[in-house]
A and B are shown apart, each in its own frame.
Chain A
């Protein structure tokens, strides 16, 4: 380091066109390079760790991949142990899909209101509130779900109130800020000329929203929905508190169910590293990780479509 700086100064005096500030250049370059290396190494280490542990279920414990993905029975401590993870996979997908279905229209409508109907007040008052929602820890959502949503569902519908619907509602509230803020940014970034062009042809505000604003921003809106779904898919704590955690595919929205994340967090502490049960939990984590990659990939594709 020191030396290259001295060399830099020497050459500097030789030629007027040598780059000055060689030292800063190097410090900056090395520093950013080290940071990115640490980041890449961490990600690779996580992927490697999860993959090696998760795959050892199939390699050392001799569980069939197909059986794990499609099996209906989860009895890890039984004799013989059975690892069928379909109830968890089903629980994760159904809660996050349902949450996205509930939150997407709400989030998009809120974004339309904030950007198209009342841009002044909307951005000044509603946006901070929504950002605040995004900052609330998930245990608080779970707690509210447990003490408000579950009793409410119990009063209205058959069953104990816990289950897929309770989990989806909690998740929907949790991902609403994500979807809303991405949708708001997308709508606000729409070139003003397009809307003016539509108005100038005699379109009303709602005609313009339906025919120009929404179709044009659709890929970006979908990006927000997919990101929200990804967040819902990975959320453990809040869902675990309201879903009931029974390892079965429920027959209704009001029956106890379980998700990949809740299965992992509930059992991880009670298993011994290296056992088949422990490895099977890692396999669930591997499924989660793969799904996350798929979500990121979908978002990338949507973004590319957005930039055309």
Chain B
């Protein structure tokens, strides 16, 4: 569970172009749910996700992840929390070119110093789960859009996180692949993962898998639609 209280994120503080991308948001993200943030471009969805995902510190406000206050933790500990607690799926898949799909999946676990063989085993299992294990040895440039997306999901799950965060995950996918993506998310939810998605794609927002739809505009939450 993540709880944020009165979060503000101000860019270029003190300068003439000071800008509050998030302006006083309080929210509680429940476990084992799919929450979707919906809003026009520039409404602060990405910023909010990066705060929820412990990537950036808010300018003010409090964040608690599983009851632990993390607002003033040094970056190093945020990295640790990110590594063990969160999996990220980006709009641009952000796979590292020149490396194989398998290596890309293993990357989040490298700093843990886990044995190479056990890392490999886990990565192959994940690729297998998403039916891309036949591409494990190929470089990521050679993957199709759908395959790349699934490798990205495998990478997000590598450290077995509680939370999965996806920013505009279907922006580059056609309707069929987008539906497939939502099915995968639904599967993950039933496995006990908490999923946060930012999107304005109707395929995502109207999916039956979504438990809660949060509307955003100008850095504030406008509507909260609990579907369950």
| A-B complex is real | no
Chain A residues close to B by CB (< 8 Å): none
Chain B residues close to A by CB (< 8 Å): none
